[in-house]
Amino acid sequence: MRSNNKKEQILEAALQVVEENGANHLTIDAVATYANFSKGGVLYHFPSKKALLSGMVDHLIQANEKRMQALDHNDHLLSAFLHKENQMSAAERRASLALLAAAAEAPELLTPVKDYIKRVVDEISQNSQKPMEALTLFLAGEGIRFLDILEINPMSTKQTQEVVDQLSQRAQEV
């Protein structure tokens, strides 16, 4: 098995640990158990918990980028983005929460996320006739996503989808 496949297995195991047990149970030992690796095997690929968290950040960014690459290029960019971003898996949502908690102790972990969001904002701005309105819609969608990540969204799934649909519809107009 190639090294990248082992890293991917470890990252998937880390997501599973967070999804099933919560962010406070993310340890090298727990990830090793879930990945069916030795602790040394995990540490070989991720020499510290901070390195593992950094790998998880990269993994989540790549998952978002894959969703964006899957967009139909005939779709309106912002509209499609709003729908794709709200298709995070439960594991990705829980991992995002874990990463936010970790970032409180190591803010530099979020540097790749800042860079990714900057690229998205630039692309949305450049592809809109009304950049400020487009950014407002994007930020509204991100707000909903973060309410979901933090598990404090007061709306039902149906209501959330209806709001995202309205944002998406309006996005096609800007």
- What are the percentages of helix, strand and coil residues in the chain, rounded to 5? 80, 0, 20
Q: Which of 68-72, 133-137, 147-151 has the highest mean pLDDT?
A: 133-137
- Average pLDDT on 149-162 reads 90
What is the percent of the chain where pLDDT is above 70? 91
Q: Is the pLDDT of residue 34 over 90?
A: yes
- The CB density around residue 48, as the number of other CB atoms within 10 Å, is 10
Comparing CA positions, the residue from 62, 79, 63 lying closest to residue 134 is 79
pTM higher than 0.85, yes or no?
no
Q: Which residue has the higher pLDDT, 14 or 88?
A: 14
pLDDT, residue 4, reads 73
Q: Is the pLDDT of residue 105 over 50?
A: yes
Q: How far is CA 125 from CA 40, 60, 82, 85, 135, in A?
A: 46, 23, 14, 17, 7
pLDDT, residue 1, reads 46
- The CB density around residue 117, as the number of other CB atoms within 10 Å, is 15
Q: 146 in the Ramachandran plot: left (φ > 0), alpha (ψ -120 to 50) or beta?
A: alpha
For 36-57, the pLDDT digits (tens) are 999 999 999 999 998 998 898 8
Q: Which residue has the higher pLDDT, 134 or 77?
A: 134
- Average pLDDT on 81-108 reads 74
Q: Is the pLDDT of residue 106 over 60?
A: yes
Per-residue pLDDT band at 86 (split at 50, 70, 90)? low
- Tell me the average pLDDT of the chain: 85
Domains within the chain, CATH numbers bracketed: 3-173 (1.10.357.10)
Q: Is the pLDDT of residue 165 over 80?
A: yes
